[in-house]
Structure 1
Amino acid sequence: MLRVLLLTLSVVAIVHAELCKPDAQNAFKVRLSIKTALGDNAYAWDANEEYLFKAMVAFAMRRYSSKSTTQISNVLVCNVTDRVSFWFVVTDSSKNLTTVPESEVEAAIRMNRNRINNAFLLSDQTLQFLKITSTLSPPVEPSTPIWLIVFGVVLCLIVAGILFLVVAGIQQRKKKNKDSTERENLEEKSEEIVTVENGIPCETLDLKAGHINGVFAADDERFTSL
Structure 2
Amino acid sequence: MLWLLFFLVTAIHAELCQPDAENAFKVRLSLRTALGDKAYAWDTNEEYLFKAMVAFSMRRVPNREATEISHVLLCNVTQRVSFWFVVTDPSRNHTLPAVEVQSAIRMNRNRINNAFFLNDQTLEFLRIPSTLAPPTDPSVPIWIIIFGVVFCIVIVATMLLILSGIRQRRRSASLEFLQISGTRESLTSLGASCLTSCLHGAPTSNL
In the superposition, the TM-score normalised over structure 1's length comes to 0.65
Q: What whole-Å deviation, never above 9, does each CA across 1:126-177 have from its counterpart, x for those lacking one?
A: 322222233344445662139x72x655554444333223213323433454
Q: Specify which structure has the bigger relative contact order, considering alpha-carbon pairs within 8 angstroms and separated by 6 or more residues.
A: 2
Could you tell me which of 13, 18, 21 is aligned with 1:16? 13
Contact preservation (8 Å) 2:58, 2:64: no
Change (3 A) 1:171 1:118: same
For 2:191 and 2:134, locate their aligned partners in 1 and report how far apart those are by CA, in whole Å: 89
Q: CA RMSD in A?
A: 3.9
1:143-182 superposed matches below 5 A:
143-145=141-143, 149=146, 153=149, 156-178=152-174, 180=177
Higher CA-based Rg: 1
Percent of counterpart pairs with the same letter?
57
- Please give the secondary structure, in 1, of the residue aligned with 2:94: coil
Unpaired runs of 5+ in structure 2?
Answer: none
For 1:154 and 1:25, locate their aligned partners in 2 and report how far apart those are by CA, in whole Å: 58
The structural deviation recorded for 1:42 is: 2.5
Greater shift, 152-161 or 46-55, is seen at 152-161
Change (3 A) 1:22 1:205: closer
Change (3 A) 1:170 1:111: closer
1:42-191 superposed matches below 5 A:
42-65=39-62, 68-94=65-91, 97-140=93-136, 143-145=141-143, 149=146, 153=149, 156-178=152-174, 180=177, 184=181
Match of 2:36 in 1: 39
Q: Give, as a single letter, the amino acid of the residue that structure 2 aligns with 1:11.
A: L
Unpaired runs of 5+ in structure 1?
Answer: 192-203, 220-226
Between the two proteins, the alignment pairs up a number of residues equal to 196
Q: Give, as a single letter, the amino acid of the residue that structure 1 aligns with 2:164.
A: A
